[in-house]
Amino acid sequence: MVDRPNKPTAIPVGSSTAVPAPQVDISSDNSSVTATLPSGDSVTVLLFGATVTSWKSAGGKKENLWLSEKAILDGSKPVRGGIPLVFPVFGPPPSDHATSSLPQHGFARNSRWEFLGKSTSESAGKGSAGDDSVTLDFGLGSSNLSDSAKQAWPFNFGLVYSVTLVKDVLTTNMTVRNEGTKPFECQVLFHSYLKVDDIANTTVSGLDSIEYVDKVNGASTQTETNKAVTLTGETDRVYKALKPEAKVVVKENGKPLYEVGRDNLDDVVVWNPWAEKAGGMGDFAPKDGYKQMICIESGAVSGWQKLDGGDSFEGAQIIKSVL
């Protein structure tokens, strides 16, 4: 599936005699991995769900991801906040599909992943003193699944999830491979909770003239007419078929806060539960925390990716934190 011949040893990684290098640490309970750049930027990934729970930029001073104060981090349920992974189905599975027996959003966010190792490079900044990029790789395959998940979705697959940290930029990349002979269909999405100061002062641009499915409005199909989308209530929209070069920009008080780009992912979900729905979630805290978050989720979810035996699908999300 996704094995590497040499599993990573206990880290931190770096050289005491060389120029500054990224530091990679595995938590004492082996539940998470944290990478820190010489600049102070950092990212933390929980092995349960391979969920990014923290991404700090601006020298480690700015937390970019919203994480519920009551997020469950012990592996008993998916994490509320950060960047949970959606695979092989987005939303409630359709009753007439091979994923019909799976839980909402599939099993990737409910499974423990393997840490496959790290790599570094200086490609992001010529002439800098030390490594300025680090990639953490995680793997999940059929053999890692619970018996119930295997029964619900009996296909042989391998996932490699790469989290790359560069100063002020976080890239999440998923590769899906059909390791068996039976074809299967899947969906992939990065469920990113971005942190804002006040949703009332937040707008989203880059979606003008894009067709979307409004899940709050009876799954009706609409076309976005606003150059700057504002959120004034529960929002759950799947914007479809964005151009590859299109950037979705989150602004606060008119100033760019995040730029979200995609590679081989055509869809963008905009989500916020608002007061009533947040109030009904036991792991959502504080209850008015919806005012400090907006989900901008890149994915391939408006249709299905069909993979024959040996085929692969790869897609990535690139988030830039703008100071």
Identify the band that residue 2 occupies on the pLDDT scale cut at 50, 70 and 90.
Answer: low
pLDDT at 4 over 90: no
Please enumerate in sequence order all residues whose Cβ is within 8 A of that of 115, keeping only pairs 6 or more positions apart, or say none: 8, 26, 33, 47, 136, 137, 138
Residue type, 264: N
Kindly name the residue from 105, 114, 252, 297 that is annotated as catalytic.
Answer: 297
Neighbours of 275 (CB within 10 A): 13
Q: Are 179 and 141 in contact (CB under 8 A)?
A: yes
177 is in an annotated binding site: no
CA distance 67 to 80: 6
Beta-strand pair 235-239/23-26:
unpaired
Query: Does the annotation place 292 within a ligand binding site?
Result: no
Q: What pLDDT band is residue 5 in, cutting at 50, 70 and 90?
A: very low
Query: 267 with 238: CB under 8 angstroms?
Result: yes
- 23-308+315-321 belongs to CATH 2.70.98.10: yes
CB 270 within 8 A of CB 295: yes
Q: Mean pLDDT across the stretch 160-183?
A: 97
Q: CA 44 to CA 27: how far, in whole Å?
A: 10
CA distance 159 to 54: 22
Can you give the pLDDT at residue 131?
60
- Tell whether the model's pLDDT for residue 12 goes beyond 60: no
**N residues, the chain:** 323
Q: Is residue 201 within 8 Å of residue 257, measured between CB atoms?
A: no
Which helix (H) or strand (E) is 88 found in, with range? none
CB 21 within 8 A of CB 131: yes
Q: Is 191 a catalytic residue?
A: yes
What would you report as the CA-atom Rg of the chain, rounded to the nearest whole angstrom? 19
Q: Which residue has the higher pLDDT, 7 or 176?
A: 176
Residue 80 assigned to a binding site: yes
pLDDT tens-place string over residues 97-139: 999 999 999 999 999 999 999 987 754 444 344 468 999 999 9
Annotated catalytic, 105? no
Whole-number pLDDT of residue 125: 42
**Catalytic one among 105, 114, 191, 252?**
191
Contacts of 21 (CB under 8 A, 6+ apart): 13, 14, 15, 38, 120, 130, 131
pTM comes to 0.90
Rounded-to-integer distance, Cα 234 and Cα 271, Å: 8
CA distances from 318 to 91, 247, 266, 270 (A): 22, 10, 13, 16
Residue 212 forms beta bridges with which residues?
222, 239
Give the model's pLDDT for residue 120. Answer: 79
Q: Is 148 helix (H, G, I), strand (E, B) or coil?
A: helix
Of 161, 187, 195, 189, nearest in space to 84 by CA: 189
Average pLDDT over all residues of the chain: 91
pLDDT of residue 278 exceeding 90, the answer is yes
Chain segment 196-255, per-residue pLDDT in tens: 999 999 999 999 999 999 999 999 999 999 999 999 999 999 999 999 999 999 999 999
Name the residue type at position 200: A
